[in-house]
Amino acid sequence: MSAKFFGFLLLLVLSVAVGCGLGEWFYRLHISAIPPVGQSQFNASASHVAYLMYGLCVGLVLFVWSLIGMGINGIMRRSSKQQA
């Protein structure tokens, strides 16, 4: 396994973990904002799944943005070396 592949894999795992953490955090904010009388157990469980899926999507978006940033950085380095 190359170091580049390991770096991409580590970036993917960390960005998805950050996304899941954000989803869990937003779920906790949601639970604290809704009074217990106004929410059933089914709605609480369904919203928890929805927030975790939201977190996974945010993690994947963070991963893609990181890849785009690394690609732009590589293009800029190559163009600066060619000009010199």
Answer whether residue 55 is part of any domain.
yes
Reading the chain (84 residues) residue by residue, the pLDDT tens digits are: 788 899 999 999 999 999 999 999 999 999 999 888 888 889 889 999 999 999 999 999 999 999 999 999 888 888 777 776
Residue 74 lies in a domain: yes
- Does a structural domain hold residue 2? no
Q: Is there a domain that residue 44 lies in?
A: yes
Residue-range definition of the domain harbouring residue 16: 8-83
Per-residue tokens: 26? 């937003």
**Structure token pair of residue 28:** 């906790």
Rounded distance between C-alpha atoms, residue 14 and residue 20, angstroms: 10
Residue 1 included in any domain? no
Could you give the count of Cα atoms lying within 13 Å of 59 in the half-sphere of its Cβ?
21
What is the pLDDT, as a whole number, of residue 50? Answer: 96
* DSSP structural state of residue 2: -
Query: Are 19 and 58 spatial neighbours (Cβ–Cβ below 8 Å)?
Result: yes
